[in-house]
């Protein structure tokens, strides 16, 4: 390369200023095939970001939201989870500790608060062992739902351990009230949390012949009736409720190959009866405080 060519090459790199070369054009010493290589180097150094090459984050439909989980094996179960930037938080209430007669219908009302890996493990058990279904409530506010449940949890006291209590409940369970299967149970706590988060999914009503509007609010005593209601809501055009069970199964695969749990047919039959009775009245046991409260003290 001659001295003149060196100057011209230096000018092209911005390293050389020479009045004699002010009107000259930089010499291109790269072949056309090398242009892509230079773009790659500049991009790696943070100098170049072509919009066509920019990597786009894939859409995750469950990255944020409030979700209602329902499982109907045996007496069934219902709980709420919240996602914020794909971080999972689970709030599940039930008879996880001391219980009393008749047949465990009353007891310590324990709220478990799981997050991150504990929440993901709980998801997999519910999806594959309990065959749970998951519904996104699109008009519920995730931040408000979290504050509501976490204040409930913080207001409680650590659960009294029992021989059959799970390790996660021993670590994360707080007793927040007295459980009553006919009153305050997993279903009523679930629906209360969704309502507090701003959702109108349980609001209803009708118009009389005189065009008077009568507002009402759906109330549920057992998970099976809650699940049926949410399934009916899916068919609506508002997109207020969207089933996302398949998406959760996709993102939380059955890594441990969990098997479906056995179904307690006696509890299932009782739940079906309670669901049918609930259709005859606008009030569940939760609306009137339950009918078993105080019937029997819990046992250690």
Q: Tell me, yes or no, whether 142 lies in a domain.
A: yes
Q: Name the band, by pLDDT with cuts 50, 70 and 90, for residue 203.
A: confident
For residues 224 and 71, is the Cβ–Cβ distance under 8 A?
A: no
H/E run at residue 174: strand 173-180
Q: Tell me, yes or no, whether 166 lies in a domain.
A: yes
- Whether 139 has a pLDDT exceeding 70, the answer reads yes
Same-domain status, 72 and 114: yes
Residues 140 and 188: their CA atoms lie apart, in Å, by 16
Query: Range of 267's domain?
Result: 66-285
> What are 283-293's pLDDT values in tens digits?
333 433 443 44
For residues 104 and 266, is the Cβ–Cβ distance under 8 A?
A: no
Same-domain status, 22 and 154: no
CA dihedral 258→262→264→269, nearest 10 degrees, is: 90
For residues 254 and 127, is the Cβ–Cβ distance under 8 A?
A: yes
- Whether 272 has a pLDDT exceeding 60, the answer reads no
Same-domain status, 40 and 74: no
Same-domain status, 15 and 135: no
Beta pairing, strands 65-71 & 77-84: antiparallel
Q: What is the DSSP letter of 129?
A: I
- Whether 49 has a pLDDT exceeding 60, the answer reads no
- Whether 50 has a pLDDT exceeding 90, the answer reads no
Which 3 state secondary structure label does DSSP give 84? strand
Same-domain status, 105 and 39: no
| 228-241: average pLDDT | 89
- Whether 214 has a pLDDT exceeding 50, the answer reads no
Phi, psi of 115 (to 5 degrees): -145, 160
Higher per-residue pLDDT: 189 or 180: 189
Tell me the range of 24-33, 183-192, 210-219, 261-270 where mean pLDDT is highest.
183-192
Assign 3-state DSSP to the chain and report helix, strand, coil percentages, each to 5: 35, 20, 45
- Quote the pLDDT of residue 256: 72
Q: What is the DSSP letter of 284?
A: -
Helix crossing, 186-196 with 223-234: angle to 10°? 40
Q: Tell me, yes or no, whether 50 lies in a domain.
A: no
> What are 64-109's pLDDT values in tens digits?
999 999 999 877 899 999 999 999 999 999 988 888 765 567 889 9
Tokens of 229: 């209601």
Handedness of CA 171, 72, 200, 284 (dihedral sign): negative
Q: Name the band, by pLDDT with cuts 50, 70 and 90, for residue 15.
A: low
For residues 88 and 108, is the Cβ–Cβ distance under 8 A?
A: no
Farthest CA pair distance, the chain: 103
Name all contacts of 208-216 with Cβ < 8 Å and 24+ positions apart. Answer: 216/282
Q: Name the band, by pLDDT with cuts 50, 70 and 90, for residue 295.
A: very low
- Calculate the average pLDDT of the chain: 76
For residues 132 and 67, is the Cβ–Cβ distance under 8 A?
A: no
Q: Tell me, yes or no, whether 205 lies in a domain.
A: yes
Instruction: Check: pTM over 0.95? Answer yes or no.
Output: no
Same-domain status, 153 and 38: no
The burial class, CB within 10 Å (0-12 / 13-18 / 19+), for 228 is: middle
Look-up: residue for tokens 């049918």? 276
Same-domain status, 32 and 168: no
Q: Tell me, yes or no, whether 207 lies in a domain.
A: yes
Handedness of CA 157, 162, 164, 167 (dihedral sign): positive
As for how many domains the chain has, the answer is 2
Look-up: residue for tokens 């930037």? 85
- Quote the pLDDT of residue 180: 81
């Amino acid at each position: 390369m001659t001295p003149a060519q060196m100057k011209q090459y230096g000018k092209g790199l911005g390293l050389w200023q020479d009045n004699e070369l002010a009107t000259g054009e930089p010499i291109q010493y790269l072949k056309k095939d090398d242009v892509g290589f230079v773009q790659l180097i500049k991009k790696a150094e943070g100098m170049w970001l072509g919009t066509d090459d920019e990597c786009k984050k894939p859409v995750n439909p469950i990255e944020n939201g409030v979700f209602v989980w329902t499982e109907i094996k045996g007496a069934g179960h219902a709980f709420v989870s919240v996602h914020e930037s794909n971080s999972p938080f689970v709030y599940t209430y039930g008879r996880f500790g001391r219980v009393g007669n008749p047949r465990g219908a009353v007891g310590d009302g324990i709220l478990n608060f799981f997050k991150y890996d504990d929440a993901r493990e709980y998801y997999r058990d519910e999806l594959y062992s309990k065959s749970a279904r998951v519904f996104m409530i699109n008009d519920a506010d995730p931040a408000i739902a979290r504050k509501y449940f976490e204040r409930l949890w913080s207001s409680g006291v650590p659960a009294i351990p029992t021989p059959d209590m799970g390790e996660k409940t021993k670590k994360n369970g707080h007793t927040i009230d007295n459980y009553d299967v006919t009153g305050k149970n997993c279903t009523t706590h679930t629906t209360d949390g969704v309502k507090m988060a701003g959702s109108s999914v349980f609001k209803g009503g009708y118009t009389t012949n005189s065009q008077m509007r009568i507002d009402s609010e759906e109330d549920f005593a057992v998970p099976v009736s809650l699940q049926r209601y949410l399934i009916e809501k899916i068919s609506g055009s508002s997109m207020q409720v969207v089933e996302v069970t398949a998406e959760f199964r996709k993102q939380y695969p059955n890594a441990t190959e969990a098997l479906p749990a056995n179904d307690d047919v006696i509890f299932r039959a009782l739940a079906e009866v309670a669901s049918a009775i609930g259709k005859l009245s606008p009030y569940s046991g939760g609306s009137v405080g339950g009918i078993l409260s105080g019937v029997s003290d819990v046992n250690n």
